[in-house]
Amino acid sequence: MEARAKINLTLDVINRREDGYHNVMMIMQQVCLSDTVQLVSGSGDGPVTIECSHPQVPSGGANIACRAAQLIREHFNIRRGIEIRIDKNIPVAAGLAGGSTDAAAVIKGLNLLWELNMDMREMMNLGKVLGADVPFCIMGGTALAEGMGDILTPVRAPAELDLLLVKPDAAVSTAWAYCNLDPAAIHERPDSPMMIKALEAGDRPGIAGGLCNVFETVIPVHYPEIRDIKETMLRTGALGSVMTGSGPAVVGIYESREGAEKAAGCFAGRYRDVFVTRTFAG
Ligand code: ATP
C-alpha cells in the first residue's frame, strides 16, 4: 500500500486545552511522496512483527504502524500474526506525518486483508487513538482540520499543484515545537476560509499567497536554514513557500513540474532530502 505524506497549507494554533493538547485550525493536503507498507498475514495465531531499515524509525512495539496493528487485533479480538514491512521514503520527524500515514495504511490494509468491513468513519475513529494526524491520513485528499486536528471537513481542490519539498538535516519533535510556541510572538495568522476559497477555485496564486504556518515564529529561530530554503525557493520561481507542520520540512509551490525540478537542482548538493512531488486528490 502507498502511505502518502501530508503537508500543511495553513496551520494555526488557537489555544491550549485543559488536557494539555492544543486546538488548531489547519488545511492539510495529501501529496504523492509515500512510504510503501506491505502486510503479510500469518496463517494462524502469532505476533505482530515489523521490518523497517530506517535508522530513526523504531522497530517493534514502539513503531506506530505496529501499534495500529495491535489496536485492530484488540478491537476485533483477532490473534492472527501479521508481518509489516515499511519501505521508508518520507523523511522522519519532518512535519510530513510519516508515522501517522504508515499507521493509516496498516488500518486500511488490515480492513481489506481481514475483511473487517469498517467504513471510513470507523477507521478514522480507531485511528484517532494513535494520533491526531491519523484520521486525515486515512481520509486523504484535502481537508480543513479543527479541534485537535481530528475534526475534518473535506475540501474540494481541483487544481493539481507541483511541489518541491526540502528538509534541512534536522529532526523536530512536535511536542517540543508546541512547548516553545509563544502566542504573543505570533503576528501573522493564516486565513483558512480564504485558503478554502482559493483551493475550490483552483486559484494557484491565491493558494500560494495564503500559505501560512504559525510555527514559523519559533522553528526557524532554531534552524535558520529554513529561512534560507524559503528564500531560495522564492528566488527559483516558487509562487509561495511554507514550512509544513512543526517542521523542519519546507514546501514550495511551482508553476510546473519542470520548474520544481529545475529548482531542486539548486538544493541537491546541500540537502539529502529534496523531493519533487505533487498534491494527491485522494
Ligand atoms: P507529524 O507531522 O504527524 O507531527 P512528523 O512527520 O513530524 O509527524 P514522524 O515522521 O511521524 O514525524 O516521526 C515522529 C517520531 O515517531 C519519530 O521520532 C519516529 O522515530 C517515531 N516513529 C514511530 N513509528 C514511525 C514510523 N512508522 N515512521 C516514522 N516515524 C515513526
Domain shared by 90 and 198, yes or no:
no
Instruction: Answer yes or no: do 203 and 246 share one domain.
Output: yes
Alpha carbons 201 and 124: distance in angstroms, whole number: 28
**Of the residues 92, 117, 152, the one at which a domain ends:** 152
Catalytic entry in 12, 35, 133, 162: 133
User: Do 113 and 32 belong together in one domain?
Assistant: yes
Residue 274 lies in a domain: yes
- The pLDDT value given to residue 124: 97
Which ligand 1 atom sits closest to the C-alpha of 90?
10
Distance from the CA of 196 to the center of ligand 1, in angstroms? 27
Query: Is there a single domain that holds both residue 177 and residue 130?
Result: no
Q: Is 211 in the pocket of ligand 1 (CB under 6 A)?
A: no
Task: Determine the pLDDT at residue 35.
Answer: 97
Ligand 1 atom nearest to 96, measured from its CA: 6
Catalytic residue list contains 35: no
Q: Are residues 240 and 194 in the same domain?
A: yes
User: What is the signed CA dihedral for 50, 279, 261, 257, rounded to 10 degrees?
Assistant: 140
Instruction: Give DSSP secondary structure letters for 26-95.
Output: EEEEEEEEEEEEEEEEEEEE--EEEEE--TTSPPGGGSHHHHHHHHHHHHHT--EEEEEEEE--SPTTSS
pLDDT at 53 over 90: no
- Specify whether 104 is located in the same domain as 82: yes
Domain for residue 157, yes or no?
Answer: no
For residue 131, the CA-to-ligand 1 centroid distance in Å is 10
133 is catalytic: yes
Examine the fold and report which residue of 101, 134, 152 is the final residue of a domain before the chain moves on: 152
Number of domains in the chain: 2
* Domain coverage including residue 28: 2-152
193: CATH: 3.30.70.890
DSSP 8-state assignment for residue 279: B
192 shares a domain with 87: no
C-alpha of 282 from chain center: 14
Please tell me whether residues 222 and 120 are part of one structural domain. no
In a domain, 47, yes or no: yes
| Domain match, 80 and 211 both | no
Residue nearest to atom 18 of ligand 1 (CA): 93
Residue 204 alpha carbon to ligand 1 centre in Å? 30
State the Cα–Cα distance between residues 176 and 112, nearest whole angstrom: 36
| Same domain (yes/no): 102, 22 | yes
What integer pLDDT is reported at residue 122 of this predicted model?
98
Phi-psi region at 205: left, alpha or beta (left = phi > 0; alpha = psi -120 to 50): alpha
141-170: pLDDT as tens digits? 999 999 999 899 999 999 999 999 999 998
- Atom of ligand 1 minimally distant from the CA of 57: 20
* DSSP designation for 184: G
**Rounded distance from Cα 42 to ligand 1 centre (Å):** 26
Q: Is residue 174 part of a domain?
A: yes
Average pLDDT in the chain: 95
pLDDT in tens, 181-231: 988 889 899 999 999 999 999 999 999 999 999 999 998 889 999 999 999
Checking if the pLDDT of 138 tops 90, the result is yes
pLDDT at 221: 86
pTM of the model: 0.96
Residue length of the chain: 282
